[in-house]
Amino acid sequence: MRKRILNKAIATVLSMALIASSVGMTFTKSETKVNAAATTSSKLVWSDEFNGTSLNTSKWNYETGGGGWGNNELQYYTNRKDNAYVSGGALHIRAKKESYGGKNYTSARLNTNGKFTFTYGYVEARIALPSSQGIWPAFWMLGANIGSVGWPKCGEIDIMEAINAENKTYGTCHWDNNGHANYGLSSGYFDITQYHKYAVQWDKQYIKMFVDGNKIYEMYIGNNAGGTEEMHRPFYLLLNVAVGGNWPGFSINDGAFPQEMKVDYVRVYQESPSYTSSSSSNVDSGSSSSGSSSSGSSSSSSSSNTSTPASGMGLKYTGASTAQAYVNNSKWVDIHYTVNGGAQQNVRMNQSGTKATYTINGLSNGSTVKYWFTHCDTSGYTKDTSSYTYTHKSGSSSSSGSSSGSSSSGSSSSSVNTTSGDIYIYQDANYGGRSASLGIGNYTLASLQKKGFKNDDLSSIKCPWGYKVTLYADDNYKGSKKVVTADMSYVGNDWNDKVSSIKVERAIYKIVNRHSGLCLDVSNGSTAAGANVQQWTDNGTNAQKWKVIFNKEDSTYYIISVLNSKPVVVDSYSKSNGANAIIYNNDYGTNKRWYVTYVNDGYSFLINKNSNKSLEVGGWSKSAGGNVQQWDYKAQANQQWKFVMVN
């Protein structure tokens, strides 16, 4: 039943945000870091690791037939092992060039309908895709009520689709809003024939899709925004490979067949399990949740040379400020860890033969590391371990490295800034190697060394939207400089391993309406609580300067006036159309919180958390002094705003 319309940027767009990717995805606007993984409180409720020798039919159904599947597809779906089989720890869905059932191609389509359905959760699959003209693999979900309401009223969530030999993937949602509505977005270009992780985070507010932990798509569904009520009902999972059809077209490279999609695993996590299943075994053995608590932990030591534990993996002391993670009998390993409750780091470990290692730097006495591994063992099976806790027991770390800049390499201890925050710097490209967390402030070389970071050793950086980071070639903020306002998986040949000091500050924006071209403005530059918010001709005053501060509790933003640090609010917690926008004292209430949902060309909708209505210029005014208010979301130009950095 899956359908596709070619215009992916339609007027029913609800929300989108792009993040720069380690696989080379381009971005339009960076958003604050999103944890693309099961949370520590979530539970693994269903999985298939495909570790046997045959498909588990207690979990999967075959769909068969050659009727075009609503898309004029050219294949016949069978239930034969020729088209779907389990081998080597993976599911293989094979499309073949052969005459069968009146069609010239065969393939397979699998679903969990009637065996596993669920509402909300984190879903992840590790998949290697085919890439040739006319091929169409997909990992997706359909509303379980499709049999009674039909498509698109059932809803559809396409976690991953790829067509032809484009070497990129698409994430898309389909639903009914007085007719078929859809919103989708593609990733950047990368090698889709290699294994990558494709995932969706689905809750009452958002549907967010990821490739290898990098967000490519976001759609707001809170309070059924845009007629999305079907996105709050049970769905089931699907995997298939189609040949030809309305979207990829009907030009097929017959010489490329057979074509295979390989699926290493499929896993579903939920915070509050709400699923139905007739399966006798929902979760495959050995596929423990990354969020589950561990029955054991690795022990720390004051010795620099500890023996390898019987389990063959762990984290051990290697120095006053370092600990080494290791996994034996492995083909490759990813470590996922936090230090003292900071942001989770996800790093591919260094592989030497059958042993993987990785050194965590910048530790001090009492530092707590929580960690777990995703590892592929020498048999080719990939698993997640339980989570573990390591406590570092040593003396304080000493700084290391020397300055290559033109000025002094150090400063007094009283001036050393060791603040942690939302900015992360990395030793290697693609966010690998040594890392450090930076908060707002200025960091000399001595400050960076105090955090375990060496001079001239920065290759990538994560900078959430709302921040401005200035990199300096020399110590004490001298020499050439580079401004960063978004994630950079590689800082470029001109800046690789050349940073000696850093400044971190809030970005300051003017906010421009798409319809009028005028700026969001505090009337008369007033600092009083209750001052009116309007639009006005760009004049560069503080009345038109704003900061954005991310609220991790619900992924909203406070829009703060530079005049007086007061946020934009909807007056009196009103939920009515036409309610006025003002600035007011920040009590962190829901009428002061805004979802910033990207549209295109730098413009976004600002949707109020309390009312679920959009900030707009009233009466479609183009005049200076036109009032700013809230109204039902209409996806129209007077409700679209561009954040233009001015500092």
With vertex at residue 114, the alpha carbon angle to CA 103 and CA 43, rounded to the nearest 5 degrees, is: 120
Task: Select which of 73, 124, 161, 616 is catalytic.
Answer: 161
Tokens for 362, please give them.
Answer: 């910048």
Residues in contact with 211: Cβ distance below 8 Å, sequence separation at least 6, in sequence order: 21, 23, 25, 160, 169, 187, 190, 196, 197, 198
**What SS3 state is found at 620?**
helix
Q: How far apart are the C-alpha atoms of 303 and 305, rounded to whole Å?
A: 5
CA distance to 403, 443, 484, per residue, from 418 (Å): 18, 8, 20
Q: How far is the CA of 74 from the CAs of 101, 142, 160, in angstroms?
A: 11, 21, 20
Classify residue 532 by its DSSP letter. Answer: B
Rounded Cα distance between 358 and 331, Å, is: 14
CA triplet 18, 19, 23: central angle to 5 degrees?
Answer: 115
Please state the separation of Cα 159 from the chain's center in Å.
12
Q: Is 501 helix (H, G, I), strand (E, B) or coil?
A: strand
Task: Judge whether 608 and 556 are in contact, CB under 8 Å.
Answer: no
How far is the C-alpha of 211 from the C-alpha of 91, rounded, in Å? 20
> Cα angle at 471 between 401 and 322, to 5 degrees?
35
**Which 8-state DSSP code applies to residue 322?**
E
- CA torsion sign for 212, 94, 183, 517 is positive
- Catalytic site includes residue 98: no
Q: Is 161 a catalytic residue?
A: yes
**Angstrom distance (rounded) from CA 487 to CA 466:** 12
First to last CA, the chain: 50
Q: Which of 31, 49, 73, 156 is catalytic?
A: 156
Kindly list the catalytic residues.
156, 161
